[in-house]
Amino acid sequence: MKKLIFATNNAHKLSEVQALLGDAFTLVTLKQCGITEDIPETSPTLEGNALQKARYIYEKLGCDCFADDTGLEVTALGGAPGVHSARYATDGHDFEANNLLLLKNLEGVADRSARFRTVIALILDGKEYLFEGIVEGTIATSQSGTEGFGYDPLFVPSGEIITFAQMSADAKNAISHRGRAVAKLVNFLKVGS
Ligand code: IMP
């Protein structure tokens, strides 16, 4: 079984990605590797941040690893919150405050189209690879559902009438931005390694 460091301490993300990877790979978290500090994410792009995190781990531990960065890109807001999705409303990761601010900024706005975009940066045997996953959808006018995290209670994927937060983890994984990016990563790892 191959070991891969996943640059996260987010339990939701870890279980989502481990479910998609199946048992061919075992994910090792940052804590399990002894990395407890916050890894810098100072790039203006998702690609830059994912690479920055993966390179940080590779330089420190020299192990195969991957990092992801995700943004919610809302058309009527010119792509915001985008790379700032985690800290949209406050400096912390306050999901509720972020959702309330998004609703406020979209008050009276007709075009509620948006997309989630995930970029994964993989470093394997010292080489860098990028994988992208996108899911299109719309921002609801109020929050629904208790599953998932972040903007899930507001995001209705295209072709659905419920939010990500009203779906099971499996149903979300099957169509989500991260699910699609991880599927590309998994396919690459299975074919290429
Ligand atoms: P990260 O780069 O994966 O940490 O994501 C940045 C921010 O985007 C998170 O703090 C969440 O607010 C939001 N986000 C990322 N993935 C999801 C998701 O699957 N559902 C809802 N919000 C998400």
pLDDT on residue 18: 83
CA-proximal residue: ligand 1, atom 7 (nearest): 86
| Domain 2-192, CATH | 3.90.950.10
**Residue 172 CA, closest ligand 1 atom number:** 19
Output phi, psi for 69, to 5 deg: -140, 135
pLDDT on residue 137: 98
**Residue 155 CA, closest ligand 1 atom number:** 21
User: Alpha-carbon distance 180 to 117, whole Å?
Assistant: 10
Q: What is the pTM of this model?
A: 0.92
CA of 62 to the centre of ligand 1 (A): 27
Output phi, psi for 108, to 5 deg: 75, 5
CA of 68 to the centre of ligand 1 (A): 10
- Residues assigned a catalytic role: 69
Q: Is any ligand 1 atom within 6 A of the Cβ of residue 137?
A: no
User: Alpha-carbon distance 130 to 99, whole Å?
Assistant: 29
User: Alpha-carbon distance 187 to 193, whole Å?
Assistant: 10
190's tokens: 């299975």
pLDDT on residue 103: 98
> What residue spans define the domains of the chain?
2-192
What is the full per-residue pLDDT of the chain (193 aa) written as tens digits? 788 999 988 887 888 788 877 777 788 999 998 999 989 999 999 999 999 999 999 999 999 999 999 999 999 999 999 999 999 999 888 999 999 999 999 999 999 999 999 999 999 999 999 999 999 999 999 999 999 999 999 999 999 999 999 999 889 989 999 999 989 998 898 765 5
- With the most atoms of ligand 1 within 8 angstroms of its CB, the residue from 17, 72, 100, 166 to mutate is 72
pLDDT on residue 53: 97
pLDDT on residue 166: 98
